[in-house]
Amino acid sequence: MRAPYIVVCVKQVPDSAQIRVHPVTGTIMRQGVPAVLNPYDLFALEEALQIKDRLGGRIVALCMGPPQAEAVLRKALSLGVDDAVLVSDRAFAGSDTLATSFALASAIRRIGQEQPVDLVFTGKQTIDGDTGQVGPGVAKRLGMQLLSYVCRIPILDMDTRSIVVHRWTEKGLQVLQSRLPCLITVLEGVSEGRFASLPEMIRAARQPIRIWDRQAAGIEDLTKIGLKGSPTVVGKVFAPSRRAERAECIGWDASQPGEAAARLWEKILARQPEMAGKISSDHGGENGQKGVSS
Amino acid sequence: MSEAGGKPVEKKGTGRRKAALDPRLAEYRGVWVFVERDDQGVHPVAWELVGAARALADQLGSEVGAVVAGGTVESLDSDSREAVAYGADRVYQVAHPVLAGYRNEPYAKLLCELVKKHKPEILLLGATSLGRDLASSVATTLETGLTADCTELAIDRESRALAATRPTFGGNLLCTILTLNYRPQMATVRPRVLPQPKKDHGRSGQIQKEEIDLSEEEVVTKLLEFLPHVGGDQVDLSLAEVIVAGGKGLQRGANFSLLEDLARTLGGEVGATRAAVQAGWVDAQRQIGQTGKTVRPKLYIAAGVSGAIQHRVGMEGSDLIVAINTDPNAPIFEVAHYGIVGDALTLLPLLTRTVRGQAVAERTTPLGACGLP
């Protein structure tokens, strides 16, 4: 049995939870916003590492970005990835998802020259772009089977090169059987991530990272990358409009909270009279809906 | 922000934006919707998209096309007629066993072939697990522009291109994305951000049968089984008519029972902010906002919710928004219609009691058959 050869695509993103918009100018305030490994990619890394724990093999982490994106590859190395490739070239600037998928697919083809790639993992989306389009795009460009929103991989058989996954959908899970090579986008929360051990962190800090420019990544056609290779253009960026008037505030006396509630309900009914028809007087929880707090 | 799906148009100069469309692209006409469906029916986002496509096509002076596909002919006819009733002029109907149950390969092949044959100018899909999977593959094969997870669609007057607006930077900003010199222009749109159009069974439209040349042997990936999410712990907030949502202001997970009481009384569902989900108080499927669900219920009660922009983008389309928060400056009061400055932990039980009291009162009146099944 040949051990699996796996590529995990990762991205460095600004921590969107910390991004603030300037209240007056409506522009993004980037100062001091830290760059992090896209959180969804951690689940892709974990899934790949679990396969390596079981079956052995090798994992290469692949990232496209500016030179400082090396930091997220170090993070991947510290978690147990064997090798890291950073694809970095000014020619990639301005790439949209179509151009990005072209560059990543080219790099994966290059990685596959050493040994054919069996599996490519990506997160389900990034937190800055939130598109979820790059993984499926890479699969299409490589002619790999696409298995998106995967939450479990019950079977991976390297002898028959077959794989069974659970693919999440809004209504349930699809149990799909496919054949390697394939690209899997991993759903969040499928596993507890692991922490890097100190020796691993030291190893990761010392290990060389391969940095490929456009030529090294095997990209000849300049019309497929960067601005030229991107069909979409941003027309305008603007702050969401606010409603003209604020909420009508219902004043109340601290000693009469019941009255405040009654007044609020009156207002609701005035605007949405049909609410009266929806009321259930079910006082107990026995035959009501299930509790939701966990 | 390479993955945000574009780059500033200014960098290219305005020349390109005003340039005449390549004549080969000018023959692309019509606004298409891929109708997401299965044996149980059509995903509501498909009709929301047909409604939006109708408005775009009217502006462009072109047709609305709907692709309705499935494993067997049964139910395709009625779904096709529905598509017409919601606003489609032409339905491309495809029945083939390889299309039973969604799989990327046959559906991507089908949609690519239909696009190559009929050349629609715009192609819209729902931003669902299916729509995002399919749209990405189709856009890559056709090498055209795709804008994900849009919240608004319009036509750019200057270029006659689709102006697809979507949240970016974690919902802090909106950006409008254009696909200028590529066709079709593709977009996925979040369920529930567009209104459901009115159905008109008097409308007429053509239903046109199409074929796909593909055998099961050629399809690599097999659908072995479908495991439905188990009943009770699955909710679809996007379809709820009443949502009572809580945030960090509720202080403890146990206090969510106050929301449950009110939600149950109003026949609604409990929703939550990302912070409440991350604190482990509520299941992730109840999260509303940028990284959760988009909802537009008739009544949205936000209790102890500060109203960060990431939450607001998921609920501001609600008909009536009521906010209860101790902080009078909380941004939730900017989107709410009615607000009470006060502690949700005190006010929620009183509101529940008021509503229940009303139910009892209505039932005891002679005409009070109100609301009871």
* pLDDT of the residue at B168: 80
Indicate whether A294 pLDDT > 70: no
Rounded to a whole number, what is the distance in Å from the CA of B205 to chain A's nearest CA? 31
Least confidently predicted of A25-29, A160-164, A186-190, A195-199 = A25-29
For chain A, which residues make up each domain, given as ranges? 5-229, 243-294
Indicate whether A26 pLDDT > 70: no
DSSP tally for chain A: helices H, then strands E: 6, 15
What is the three-class DSSP state of B113?
Answer: helix
On whether any CB of chain A is under 8 Å from the CB of B25, the answer is: no
Indicate whether A155 pLDDT > 90: yes
Q: For the residues A79-93, what does the mean pLDDT come to? A: 96
- Whole-angstrom Cα distance, residue B15 to residue A68? 34
Chain A residues whose CB is inside 8 A of the B303 CB are: none
Indicate whether A81 pLDDT > 70: yes
* pLDDT of the residue at B169: 74
Indicate whether A278 pLDDT > 90: no
Strands B185-189, B146-150: pairing kind: parallel
Window A:186-245, CB contacts with B under 8 Å:
189, 227, 230-240, 242-243
- What's the pTM? 0.83
Q: Which two tokens stand for residue B335?
A: 């989107």
* pLDDT of the residue at A41: 96
Please give the single-letter amino acid code of residue B310: Q
Q: Which two tokens stand for residue B367?
A: 């005409």
* pLDDT of the residue at A238: 84
Rg (CA), chain A: 25
Q: Which two tokens stand for residue B212?
A: 């796909």
* pLDDT of the residue at A25: 64
Cβ separation B4–A234 shorter than 8 A: yes
Indicate whether A283 pLDDT > 70: no
The residue of chain B nearest to residue A252, with distances taken between CA atoms, is: B340
B224 Cβ contact list (under 8 Å, min separation 6):
A164, A175, A176, A177
Cβ separation B260–A291 shorter than 8 A: yes
* pLDDT of the residue at A191: 76
Query: Class of the A5-229 domain?
Result: alpha beta
Neighbouring C-alpha atoms within 13 Å toward the C-beta of B153: 34
* pLDDT of the residue at B24: 83
Neighbouring C-alpha atoms within 13 Å toward the C-beta of B193: 23
Rounded to a whole number, what is the distance in Å from the CA of B196 to chain A's nearest CA? 19
SS in 3 state form for A76-113? HHHHCCCEEEEECCHHHCCCCHHHHHHHHHHHHHHHHH
Window A:41-80, CB contacts with B under 8 Å:
none
A251 Cβ contact list (under 8 Å, min separation 6):
none
A32 Cβ contact list (under 8 Å, min separation 6):
A18
Region for residue A225 given its phi and psi (left: phi exceeds 0; alpha: psi -120 to 50; beta: otherwise): beta
Partner residue opposite B270 with nearest CB, options A16, A267, A292: A292
* pLDDT of the residue at B164: 97
Window B:41-100, CB contacts with A under 8 Å:
none
* pLDDT of the residue at B20: 67
Dihedral angle computed from the Cα positions of residues B301, B302, B304 and B305, in that order, rounded to the nearest 10 degrees = 180
Indicate whether A32 pLDDT > 60: yes
* pLDDT of the residue at B370: 35
On whether any CB of chain A is under 8 Å from the CB of B152, the answer is: no
Closest CA to A148 of B134, B229, B226: B134
ipTM over 0.95 threshold: no
Indicate whether A285 pLDDT > 80: no
Give the pLDDT band of residue A250 (cuts 50, 70, 90).
confident
Cβ separation B359–A280 shorter than 8 A: yes
Query: What is chain A's mean pLDDT, rounded?
Result: 89
Cβ separation A274–B322 shorter than 8 A: no
* pLDDT of the residue at A114: 87
Which stretches of chain B score pLDDT less than 70? 1-20, 170, 231-234, 359-373
Partner residue opposite B355 with nearest CB, options A94, A130, A265: A265
SS in 3 state form for A28-70? EECCCCCEEECHHHHHHHHHHHHHHHHHCCEEEEEEECCHHHH
First to last CA, chain A: 44
- Measured at the alpha carbon of residue A186, what is the angle toward residues A181 and A187, in degrees to the nearest 5? 155
